[in-house]
A and B are shown apart, each in its own frame.
Chain A
Amino acid sequence: MILQVDSTVVTWGWGFLVGYVVLMLGLGYLGYKRTDTQDDYATARGGFGFLALAFAYAATVASGSTFMGIPGMAYGMGFKAGYYAMIYPVGIYLGMLFVARITKKVGDRFGSQSVPDFLGDRYQSPVLRALAALVALFLLFYIMAQIAAAGWMFDTILGLDYGLGIWFAGGLLLLYLTAGGSHADILTDAVQGVIMVAITVLIVFMFATGWGLDGGIGAVNAALDSGQQWDTHTDPENPIFANGWVIVLLFVAHIGFTALPHLGNKFFAIKGTQYMKKFMTVAAVSGIMLPLMFLGGVLGRALGIQIENPDAIIPLLFVETMPAIVAAFLGVAILSAIISTADGLIIAVSQIFANDLYRKTYVPWKGGDPNSDRVGQRALWISRISTVIVTVAAVAAVMTPPEYLAILLWVGIGGIIAGYSGPYFVGTFREETSKTAAIVAFVVAFGVYAVIHLGPQFGLYEGWYPYNENPFASSGIGFVISCVLTYVISKFTKPLPAGHLDEVFGPERRATADGGRDETADRPRAGDDTSK
């Protein structure tokens, strides 16, 4: 479906697209120059300050749905869509506060290169690492959804055929990711995050002033149908907004969303935990701004813009109310949202093969040293090759999107929320959390999530859980079960050895200028004031 856009918008759109591609490739080259080892490729460990990383994190969290799906939801449902748009980032960024520091610290100390790897190292458990890696493989469907969104964007805004658009997006990702790995991922995401924030600020301004209407926000509300106005909070017909309870579960589920590997692996890249507070501050502020894009969907509905596909409401709002150059720039912002999530996912999935399954599982199983240079070089090659395979497979798969793509997507996302949450979150705060508890909680919570959500969604049987259609309400239950089981079972099972827990929970080594650790500076010194 192509919007009826002015040829000036299309011309500017192609101009911006060329500039965007050149910028991404340039940043990819910079990433390549900074990538010498497998650890560089997988984590960009210690390579970034708080500002770039915070914008990269916010950009990675906000996928294509921030600029399309969420405003489209608001266009169809009105203000109540804000309960999804503004509650999910609250969950994710509170989750970030809980786990960012320990992920960075343990990751540096044990050389963890992914969230599954972190769990394996935290619990000294190759089984947990392998289980977590296998569930994370389903993130391939998340990548497919992003690639499909990119193809749709090209088709809608620039008139480029969907089939060409997906290969264009895949080719761009391949070029900079295979070269620069995580360095390229974070560099490009940081820039894209800034672009996305700029567009969001513009949307908020338009909404706040009642752009195109007389009377500001009140006029926007008055122009909506009664069921879409701001005094309507729920919609019993819609499983996502059925009542307050499912909205609470939406929040709970998104705390667990923080455990997704493409988000968790960003924490390794900060220069040191001394920058963590600044990182958290900037990420928490910029991250909660981006979903304000839903206000654009509300404004579009209030302006009476008629559109066949609600997901295109923001592009059409810009085309109808903005100068051509601004409307054209939006295409780059949407592409940024899509690409910045897809690249993080591709790196995360490539590390399942290179690190989690090869370096940390296969090599020790065969009696090898996972930290040897030879293994590292081989893992780097596997990283690059799997990046190519994953990207090409994702693009090829969405040439004709699979029938169950939306459900398969939630095998990965919901499975990770349910499986990882107890071991990740409870294990962050409770040193006594045992390996047995972590594994049992992982398996049982994933199983419960599969039974209450995935089975009915695949049509295997009738769902008995009242909100089984709602993936957030289902994975939120998985989150709670995972955390409760991890806590309770740890009370009755053997904790990890004290020496290992000292390593996990001991203070952070002070970072050196190159982002590494000063092993001599890790002990408190006489005169250190630790009483604050």
Chain B
Amino acid sequence: MNVLQVLTITTVAYFGIVTVWILKMEEYLENRERDRERVSERGEET
């Protein structure tokens, strides 16, 4: 493989990670935050 091909694959992988992060990880982090708050609220109620 030449340099341009390596860089093209790297860039495609980069966009793949960006896409997965934006579509999946951000949702996961938001949900984790909400779960945490629910647990915290339950703790306060009891």
Chain A residues proximal to chain B, CB less than 8 Å: 79-80, 82-83, 86-87, 90, 93-94, 97, 101, 217, 229-233, 276-277, 280-281, 284, 288, 498, 502, 505-508, 523-524, 530-532
Contacts and interface: CB of A to CB of B under 8 A. Distances in A.
A97 B30 CA distance: 14
Contact of B26 (A79, A277, A524, A530): A277
A502 B36 contact: yes
Contact of A505 (B6, B22, B36): B36
Instruction: Specify the main secondary structure of chain B where it touches its partner.
Output: helix
A82 B35 CA distance: 43
Nearest to A532: B27
Range of interface residues on chain B? 20 to 34
Given A97-B18, A532-B31, A288 B11 contact: yes
Contacts of A530: 31, 34-35
A523 B26 contact: no
B16 to A, nearest CB: 11
A506 B3 contact: no
A284 B19 CA distance: 10
Instruction: Specify the main secondary structure of chain A where it touches its partner.
Output: helix
Contact of A82 (B3, B29, B33, B36): B3
A79 B2 contact: yes
A82 B7 contact: yes
Contacts of A507: 30, 33-34, 37
Given A94-B14, A94-B18, A217-B4, 18 more contacts: A79-B3, A79-B4, A82-B3, A82-B4, A86-B7, A90-B10, A101-B26, A229-B2, A230-B2, A233-B3, A233-B6, A288-B14, A506-B37, A507-B30, A524-B37, A530-B34, A530-B35, A532-B27
A244 B40 CA distance: 47
A217 to B, nearest CB: 8
A220 B29 CA distance: 46
6 contacts: A79-B2, A79-B4, A229-B2, A280-B21, A281-B18, A506-B36
Given A276-B26, A502-B40, A83 B3 contact: yes
Contacts of B22: 97, 277, 280-281
Contacts of A531: 31
Contacts of A79: 2-4
B13 to A, nearest CB: 8
B38 A524 contact: yes
B44 to A, nearest CB: 10
A93 B26 CA distance: 15
Interface of B: 2-4, 6-7, 10-11, 14-15, 17-18, 21-22, 25-27, 29-38, 40-41
A478 B19 CA distance: 29
Nearest to A273: B30
Nearest to B17: A94
A489 B33 CA distance: 24
A508 B17 CA distance: 24
A531 B22 CA distance: 17
Top 6 nearest A-B pairs (CB, nearest first) are A230-B2, A79-B3, A507-B33, A230-B3, A284-B18, A90-B14
Contacts of A506: 33, 36-37, 40
B33 to A, nearest CB: 4
B3 to A, nearest CB: 4
A203 to B, nearest CB: 15
Best-buried of B7, B17, B36, B38 by chain A (most CB within 10 Å)? B7
Nearest to B36: A505
Contacts of A93: 14, 18
A215 to B, nearest CB: 15
Contacts of A101: 26, 29
Nearest to A284: B18
B30 to A, nearest CB: 7
Contacts of B34: 507, 524, 530
B4 A502 contact: no
Contacts of B17: 94, 97
B1 to A, nearest CB: 9
